[in-house]
Structure 1
Amino acid sequence: MKSLERQGRACRQPARTALTNGMLLALGLAPTLAEAATIIVTSPGDTLPSAPATCTLRQAILTMNNSTVSGNCAAAAGTIGDKNNDTISFSPGVFNGGSASTAANTITLADDAAAPFGTLDITDDNLSIDASRVGGVTIKRPRPSTDNTNAFRILRHKAPRSSSTPSGLILNQLTISNGNAGSGSCYTEQVLNAGGICSVFADLTLIDSTVSNNAARGNAGGIYSRDGKLTLRRSIVSNNVSTGQLGSGGGIAAGGGVFVMTDSTVSGNTVKGYGGGIILQSTNKAYISNSVISGNTSTQVGGGIILDPGTKYNGTGAPTLVATNVTISGNTSLSGAGGGIGLGDRAGAVLTNVTISGNNSASTMNQDGTGRLYAGGIFGLVRNTVKINNSIVVGNTARDPGGNLQANTDIGAPWSGSYNVSAGSAPDNGVQNIHNIGSAAADLKLSPLQNNGGLTATMLPGVGSIALDAIDSAACIDADGNAVATDQRGVARPQNGKCDIGAVEVRGGSFNLNVTVAGSGSVSATPKPSGSGSSGEINGCTSSGGPACAAVFARENNISTVTLKATQPVAGQALVWGGSCIAVPGMPTQATATMDQSRTCTATFGNLTIAPTGLPSGTYGAQYAASLSAGGGTAPYSFALAPGSTLPAGLTLTATGGLNGTPTVAADTAYSFAVVVTDANGFAGNPQTLNAIIAKAALTVKANDASRTFGAPDPVFGASYTGFIPGDTAANSLTAMPTFTTNATSASPPGTSYVITPTGATSAKYAPTYQNGSLTITSASSATALMQSLPAGSVYGQSVAFTATTTNTSAGSTAVPNGTVSFSEGGVALSGCNAVPLDSTGKAQCQTASLAVGSHSVTANYAPSNTNFTGSASGAVTQSVAKAATTTAVTSPGAITLGSPVTVNAQVAVTSPGSGTPIGTITIGDGGAQAGDICTISLPATSCVLTPSTAGTKTLTAHYNGDGSFGASTAPSGSLTVNPSQPGTTLTSSANPSRFSHSVSFTATVTPAAGGTNPTGSIDFSDGGSALAGCTGLALSGGTASCAASTLSVGSHTIQASYSGDTNNRPSNGMLTQTVDKDTTTMSLSASPNPAGAIQPITLTATVFGDPPTGTVTFYDGTAILGTATLTTASALSSSAALTVGPLGSGTHSLSATYSGDGNNEGSASAVLVVTVNAPVVPAPLLSPWLLALLGLGFAGLSARRLRA
């Protein structure tokens, strides 16, 4: 045998001694760890981990594994990431009670072995998957376990090898099914192991769970557990298969840890190798209690269970199987030994209150090749230690001797124990064993393996068995010397003061059987009580009671089973067994009672009844559901229509009493039909009439909303229907169609909702109710056409006529539109054309003369006077308006003098058909064609003031310049005579009086008359009527002309300036009197020599400056005249006269000269000229200071006199 321990000896974990939170909860203990997370599965499918809106079981496991939320699997409590004592549970509504697409409470894993689908891998250290909130959950592959397509196991729990913290997985109320370990490993080298669950290096606990119909091509068709504790509580491992050659564990393969199995069943599993039900390898202890190992098959040792130490216990301390209150039956080893139990090298067993029966070692092959097969019950290989107490090992078969217990004969008998019943020769070293019972079977009197109470099937010793009361109460102990308080069934030991040998303690004392009959039948029982302490007989027991209804049976094994027979009930009635009686399948008038204690049985004869008698009402076309129940018989009941009876069409009656369907008929009265009920024992009741009212379905007939145009007739009204079942229509369901009325008349205006009232519909299947509809009257549509204006082209101010016609364009409506039409341009109504009423024919006309010059796009807009019509607008008509023509007239004003303004009148008139008042200006010119001097009339003025700038006969023109509405025009010519104006001439002199020979300038200034023009022309200057030389024909410049004269004689002169005149100015004169005075003269005096000698003559020269002067000059010495001299012209501006005088006395002389003047020059005098005449040279006398002072005074006085002279 290939040892599990050998497969994994290199990777054992440290021993685990702690329990996870989930394990503690499973054992009813309070957890000590905190912060565990709980995730609630809310989605039944198997989705991708990334699916955002779901929380499937796979997503919940991945969330726990990775400490990261997968999908929508947030923790409902605790903290994700702790990876300790976590729980996954299921929302009560997750499966929705089952559906057509999802089996109730079933998770079908995705049929893909590739990650993330396939096996549910769990790496969370401690996790509980608890399905108790939803009553259990099945997790399965979608294919049978025999189908190797996309094969994968269901669950795998892997704890880290290096972890020192105990890890565990708890499964509560889960069913693991259809797994197939066809590929992939359970863990590293464990290829193809574990079809259902793989648990490595971790504890695994199953509570109220099932592992069934899984397969592996290696070991462990159902559960593989390695190096961890495996616990089963109230669980089932069944119909799993290991198909690998020399595999191990058809149901369970466990090794390296403790195995605990309580209140559980391992059955129907198969292996091509060792341990059809269970193989325990390298396991130090295995505890099995209150459990059944049955119907398993192996091809090698251990059809039911094998304990294989492997190499782990290669010396002392071999592993031990401790089994208490266990039945091992119906297991087969096809080619080995130990159909029930196989024990490997050194393996031990302690069996207490165990029944081993019906196991078989049946093939022609065995381990040692000798062709011998051993021990259909228990086979020990070598060096085994087996303690059997209070157990039964019988009825097991093998081809060779030792069909019940067999040890390898070359080693020796391993058996010990007491108080057993064995069909073999062992155990042979205990006390009070009964073995080799083949010859003493009549004395043992064991019953077949059957239900004698308790959790397991047992074999009950019969009356007179040599096993009864064979052990003193003080000796009722197990192999370890402990008192045995109960048998395999839980019955207290001892009974009657002593214990029975074997696994079953027969109850002592007497047991009463009492029968109560109700109704008209009778009951009898067989066999009759017999033996000491027995009494009475049940024979023909009726409802009246009495001795025939009671019996006393001594001890449990006196008669283990009593059969009760009842008379057949009359037609329509049933027989119901009750109390401790169990009806015999297929024989409804018979029942059995197990007399292991006092029993009371009841037989009730009565009518089978159906409830309710009044069925709920249904409705045509609506889902109908009613449930019939029955009484008076044995459940379950079946229901059927009585022959000739029919249900309302559309309804069906199920065998379980469901009256379901959708009625396809209806009636005002109840439908009647008859139903027959049959109970579980085949008793049929009389037909019972039931009544059901199938009412007409509610049908809402709603008048369809409708509309029509004002002035049109009403449309054909229709209806919509609410309540028709699929397939029904008004056409096939109504016998009379609804009719309609309305409160609207042909004159009803729009804007009000009018009522459409339906009525009169009839139907055999529907009850109509009515809803009114609404009739909406819409405004009639209109169209407006605008006629081309008359005239199409006009001038400003000309009246233009527009005509619009509005028509009703709604089909079927004959009303004539009313209201108004506005003629507008650009949305602005034309003057006088706003809201023009339509006449009775729908026409409107307006005339307007207000159109401005230009192109006008005119539209007509219809505005209804009420809601009877909709408005409309015409297309545009183009109206061209030109400027109106004008005429202009001007009035001749007569004659004026240049410079005088003149008022000129002019008028503008509009030429028909134009009209209006022109604006703008009239320009009037006096030079023709708006030339010359101009004045402007700003209309509406009619005149302007014209001031001509030149004299002459003028041609007046008047031109109207036009404006935006009126054209320009020019008046015929008028005339104006402009006479020259009279200027004024003034004459001025540059010097008046002037000096002779001095030039004097005369300036004539010609000033124009007021309003006149600046004079042009020439000036003639004259003196006393004689023209001044060079001063005639002098042109005016800037209105002036000047003339310079230097030849005027001394005296008074009449100077005149004569202006010659020009076109615009008349001639004029200016005069002045010019006085010419004599010219002034100046004189200079010189003497030569100066100074002069005492006897030297002196020449005096006087020069008179003037024009040039004539006459004489008188010379003075002081006041004394020295002489006179005649002037001679010296230059153009001077004359001179010389006088020689001689000698003057010595000293200084104040000499001067005077000019007496002439006809043109005034006289003048020279300045005093001091001439010094030196005295003769005479020596000067010496003068005293006093004399010098006196002389000084004298000279000073002399000088003063001379100066005054």
Structure 2
Amino acid sequence: GSPTLTALVSDGLAVVTHAYGSTSGSPFAITATYDGDANFSSSSGSDTQTVGKAATTTAVVSSPDPTVVGQLTTVTASVASVAPGAGAPSGTVTFHFGDGSPTLTALVSDGLAVVTHAYGSTSGSPFAITATYDGDANFSSSSGSDTQTVGKAATTTAVASSPDPTVVGQPTTLTASVASVVAGAAAPTGTVTFSFGDGTPSTTTTLSDGIATVAHTYTSTAGSPFPVTATYNGDASFTSSSGSDAQTVARAATSTAVVSSPDPSVAGQAVTLTATVSAVAPGAGTPTGTVTFSFGDGTSAGTATLSGGTATVTHTFTGAAGSPYTVTAIYNGDAGFTSSSGSDAQTVARAATSTAVVSSPDPSVAGEVVTLTATVSAVAPGAGTPTGTVTFSFGDGTSAGTATLSGGTATVTHTYATRSGSPFPVTATYNGNANFAASSGDDTQTLTKNATTTTVTSTPDPSVSGGTVTVRATVSSAAGTPTGTVTFSFGDGTSTATATLSGGVATVTHPYTTTTGSPFTLTATYGGDASFNGSTGTDTQTVTRATTTITVVSTPNPATTGDRITVTATVVPVAPATGTPTGTVTLAITGRSPQAVPLVGGTASASFNPLQKGTHVVTGNYNGDVSFAPSTGTTVQTVN
């Protein structure tokens, strides 16, 4: 179908060249027609020309090379005929990229086929690229290959938190967006590590479509705003990258609730106050710090430390006046939570009491002062020391007595005038006050006979034999004056004597006639009466020998020589002694032998022979006895 060619005949030959541009129609019928000349007529001849497909070469190159994941690379296949073939191949080239992705087919134009391809991974790099020319009617197929090196693509990581700001305990969601710097590249895979900037451990989570999210709760404001960092850890195709943000965290609001137990209570009872501090949504967590409790009764506030969100104190309301009391708990806040307060009411009633009364001494005696003591105590769970007054009833018909409590006790004194009615019922009635209820207690007071003591004395002491001694018994008691009689025993074997008490005193007199047995034991025995018990007292009485005087008389005096002389001695006790001395008297006259003469009735006499003329001394020596002391007397005898 190509244009005919005409050539000159030279030496019988005409030659032309022709390139078949296609195999379509092969074998081709070639016809040569000689056009003749002036001498030769025209003629024609024919032949056939078989034309086969021309061989080709295919060369492939990629650009740029190397690339990174997601970056487009242009792959160009150059298809050329191989001599002696000529011409421009047409048709298509099929590209294989070596990464498992689908092949691409491109038309050959001017010997070139061009496609673009983005590698989604470095796995398998360098990749073998194959371009296969598929041939056409005139050109046979061929293929060529190249390699494409693919590196990890750089990434960018952006992190944001929401909500921002938050409060302590409020969860915030941190979102990291990881993207390739190469536009159109696939989404990176792998993990992102989040650092929260508050000292807590970091958290790693997996990317999904280039997005990684994590929730985090900040438990404190210390350090706010917190630097938030999201670090993409890279994968086989993408390099790591990081991004940062700041999360502002404010203190969370709180609510404080306070309760008291037990409620109601009584005066003096310990009450436990518990404050519960909670975070108010969206805040969360457990507040720390201290709570200050105000009790509403005028006492000093108390402060306690929170533990697990609660703080407790104990407080004792000492009175019911002012009840119900307003109890307030003020949370003082901490680094993560704002302060708050709550209140409650505590009802305090009067505490029950018990009253005990005792008397001392018990038993007592009539006329003795008795002390009655009432002890008023709070009954558990009440506590404290009751105040006010106690009224005492003595049970003997006398008027009641009232005393003021001091330190929980009240005392009065009372004197029972008689035993009649004993034992007496004693009642102490506590009259109560604003904080403590009234109560009463009972006891009995027994009156017995009064104890007595008997004291005995004697005067004079010592005394002398024959002297009269006054013996005095004094009977006394702690209260009152005993009456009745006292019996005296003198210790000398004589009969007892009884005397009546007067003003508590009884007196007798007694003469001791001998010293034998001295000192004598004096005993005074009080026999008691209706109100007083008997008692006994003793003393000793010392009796010494009585002093004596002796009177000596000689008769006749004067005498004459030849007269017989009678000497008479009279011995008498010296007052206050009485009695008649016994024993002997030694009578003597100068120049004559002494004579011991017994006393008879206090007198002793002896006769002496006539004396010579002159003056003679007559001596009488009383030799004493058990009761009477010796004594001496003299006289002068004249003999004419």
Q: Indicate conservation of the 8 Å contact 1:833/1:846, yes or no.
A: no
How far apart are the structure 2 equivalents of 1:858 and 1:1165?
108
How far did 1:1003 drift? 2.6
1:985 paired residue among 355, 362, 384: 355
What residue in structure 2 maps to residue 1024 of structure 1?
395
How far did 1:985 drift? 1.1
Matched, 1:1179 2:588: no
Which residue type is aligned with residue 156 of structure 2? Answer: A
Which residue type is aligned with residue 126 of structure 2? Answer: Y
What residue in structure 2 maps to residue 55 of structure 1?
none
How far apart are the structure 2 equivalents of 1:1140 and 1:898?
73
The superposition leaves residues 627-685 of structure 1 with CA deviations (integer Å, 9 ceiling, x where unpaired) of xxxxxxxxxxxxxxxxxxxxxxxxxxxxxxxxxxxxxxxxxxxxxxxxxxxxxxxxxxx
What residue in structure 2 maps to residue 851 of structure 1?
218
2:385 paired residue among 1015, 1023, 1026: 1015
How far did 1:981 drift? 1.7
The superposition leaves residues 600-650 of structure 1 with CA deviations (integer Å, 9 ceiling, x where unpaired) of xxxxxxxxxxxxxxxxxxxxxxxxxxxxxxxxxxxxxxxxxxxxxxxxxxx
How far did 1:1013 drift? 1.8
1:969 paired residue among 340, 353, 375: 340
For residues 937 and 1170 of structure 1, do their structure 2 counterparts lie closer, same or farther at Cα, with a shift above 3 Å needed?
same
For residues 808 and 996 of structure 1, do their structure 2 counterparts lie closer, same or farther at Cα, with a shift above 3 Å needed?
same
Matched, 1:1098 2:469: yes
1:818 paired residue among 181, 188, 211: 188
How far did 1:1066 drift? 1.2
2:159 paired residue among 786, 799, 811: 786
What residue in structure 1 maps to residue 232 of structure 2?
862
2:404 paired residue among 1021, 1027, 1034: 1034
The superposition leaves residues 87-132 of structure 1 with CA deviations (integer Å, 9 ceiling, x where unpaired) of xxxxxxxxxxxxxxxxxxxxxxxxxxxxxxxxxxxxxxxxxxxxxx
Q: Indicate conservation of the 8 Å contact 1:925/1:932, yes or no.
A: yes
How far apart are the structure 1 equivalents of 2:316 and 2:472?
73
How far did 1:742 drift? 10
Unaligned runs of 5+ in 1: 1-704, 717-740, 758-771, 1130-1134, 1183-1194, 1196-1205
Which residue type is aligned with residue 777 of structure 1? Answer: V
What residue in structure 1 maps to residue 252 of structure 2?
884
How far did 1:1091 drift? 4.3
How far apart are the structure 2 equivalents of 1:1122 and 1:882?
112
How far apart are the structure 1 equivalents of 2:298 and 2:66?
76
How far apart are the structure 1 equivalents of 2:515 and 2:299?
99
Q: Indicate conservation of the 8 Å contact 1:1117/1:1150, yes or no.
A: yes
How far apart are the structure 2 equivalents of 1:1138 and 1:944?
78
Which residue type is aligned with residue 927 of structure 1? Answer: G
How far did 1:1004 drift? 2.0
How far apart are the structure 1 equivalents of 2:219 and 2:396?
75
The superposition leaves residues 1127-1150 of structure 1 with CA deviations (integer Å, 9 ceiling, x where unpaired) of 455xxxxx5433234474775576
What residue in structure 2 maps to residue 1140 of structure 1?
509
What residue in structure 2 maps to residue 1005 of structure 1?
375
What residue in structure 1 maps to residue 242 of structure 2?
873
Matched, 1:1064 2:435: yes
The superposition leaves residues 392-434 of structure 1 with CA deviations (integer Å, 9 ceiling, x where unpaired) of xxxxxxxxxxxxxxxxxxxxxxxxxxxxxxxxxxxxxxxxxxx
For residues 775 and 960 of structure 1, do their structure 2 counterparts lie closer, same or farther at Cα, with a shift above 3 Å needed?
farther
How far apart are the structure 2 equivalents of 1:915 and 1:1146?
114
For residues 817 and 1013 of structure 1, do their structure 2 counterparts lie closer, same or farther at Cα, with a shift above 3 Å needed?
same
For residues 807 and 753 of structure 1, do their structure 2 counterparts lie closer, same or farther at Cα, with a shift above 3 Å needed?
closer
Q: Indicate conservation of the 8 Å contact 2:391/2:402, yes or no.
A: yes
How far apart are the structure 2 equivalents of 1:942 and 1:1098?
91
What residue in structure 2 maps to residue 710 of structure 1?
69
How far apart are the structure 2 equivalents of 1:1032 and 1:967?
58
Q: Indicate conservation of the 8 Å contact 1:1117/1:1151, yes or no.
A: yes
Which residue type is aligned with residue 987 of structure 1? Answer: V
TM-score under structure 2 normalisation? 0.53
Matched, 1:951 2:320: yes
How far apart are the structure 2 equivalents of 1:824 and 1:1003?
80
Matched, 1:795 2:164: no
Question: Greater helix share, 1 or 2?
Answer: 1
How far did 1:827 drift? 8.2
Which residue type is aligned with residue 880 of structure 1? Answer: T
Which residue type is aligned with residue 1113 of structure 1? Answer: V
Identical columns (%): 29
How far did 1:986 drift? 0.9
Which residue type is aligned with residue 878 of structure 1? Answer: A
Which residue type is aligned with residue 1054 of structure 1? Answer: P
Q: What does 1:400-549 correspond to in 2, within 5 Å?
A: none
How far apart are the structure 1 equivalents of 2:317 and 2:297?
13
For residues 708 and 902 of structure 1, do their structure 2 counterparts lie closer, same or farther at Cα, with a shift above 3 Å needed?
same
Q: Indicate conservation of the 8 Å contact 1:823/1:829, yes or no.
A: no
Comparing 854-863 with 935-944, which one deviates more in the overlay? 935-944
Matched, 1:1152 2:523: yes
Q: Indicate conservation of the 8 Å contact 2:195/2:202, yes or no.
A: no
For residues 928 and 964 of structure 1, do their structure 2 counterparts lie closer, same or farther at Cα, with a shift above 3 Å needed?
farther
For residues 1025 and 1067 of structure 1, do their structure 2 counterparts lie closer, same or farther at Cα, with a shift above 3 Å needed?
farther
Q: Indicate conservation of the 8 Å contact 1:784/1:873, yes or no.
A: yes
How far did 1:825 drift? 1.9
Partner SS state of residue 1084, structure 1? strand
For residues 887 and 861 of structure 1, do their structure 2 counterparts lie closer, same or farther at Cα, with a shift above 3 Å needed?
same
Q: Indicate conservation of the 8 Å contact 1:1019/1:1041, yes or no.
A: yes
How far did 1:1176 drift? 1.4
How far did 1:779 drift? 1.0
Q: What does 1:24-39 correspond to in 2, within 5 Å?
A: none
Partner SS state of residue 248, structure 2? strand
For residues 870 and 1122 of structure 1, do their structure 2 counterparts lie closer, same or farther at Cα, with a shift above 3 Å needed?
closer
Question: Greater strand share, 1 or 2?
Answer: 2
* Count of matched residue positions in the alignment of Structure 1 and Structure 2: 425
What residue in structure 1 maps to residue 591 of structure 2?
none
For residues 790 and 1089 of structure 1, do their structure 2 counterparts lie closer, same or farther at Cα, with a shift above 3 Å needed?
closer
How far did 1:747 drift? 1.7
Unaligned runs of 5+ in 2: 1-63, 76-95, 100-116, 130-144, 546-579, 586-595, 598-625, 627-640
How far did 1:1011 drift? 1.3
How far did 1:746 drift? 4.1
User: Which structure ranks higher in relative contact order (CA pairs < 8 Å, sequence separation ≥ 6)?
Assistant: 2
How far did 1:1042 drift? 3.8
How far did 1:1012 drift? 0.8
How far apart are the structure 2 equivalents of 1:1010 and 1:927?
23
Q: Indicate conservation of the 8 Å contact 2:488/2:524, yes or no.
A: yes
How far apart are the structure 2 equivalents of 1:908 and 1:1048?
70
How far did 1:980 drift? 0.8
How far apart are the structure 2 equivalents of 1:1150 and 1:957?
83
Q: Indicate conservation of the 8 Å contact 1:935/1:946, yes or no.
A: no
Which residue type is aligned with residue 219 of structure 2? Answer: A
What residue in structure 1 maps to residue 43 of structure 2?
none
How far apart are the structure 2 equivalents of 1:847 and 1:1025?
92
Q: What does 1:482-631 correspond to in 2, within 5 Å?
A: none
RMSD between aligned alpha carbons?
5.0
The superposition leaves residues 539-577 of structure 1 with CA deviations (integer Å, 9 ceiling, x where unpaired) of xxxxxxxxxxxxxxxxxxxxxxxxxxxxxxxxxxxxxxx
How far did 1:869 drift? 1.4
Q: What does 1:365-380 correspond to in 2, within 5 Å?
A: none
For residues 1025 and 992 of structure 1, do their structure 2 counterparts lie closer, same or farther at Cα, with a shift above 3 Å needed?
closer
What residue in structure 2 maps to residue 679 of structure 1?
none
How far did 1:1009 drift? 0.6
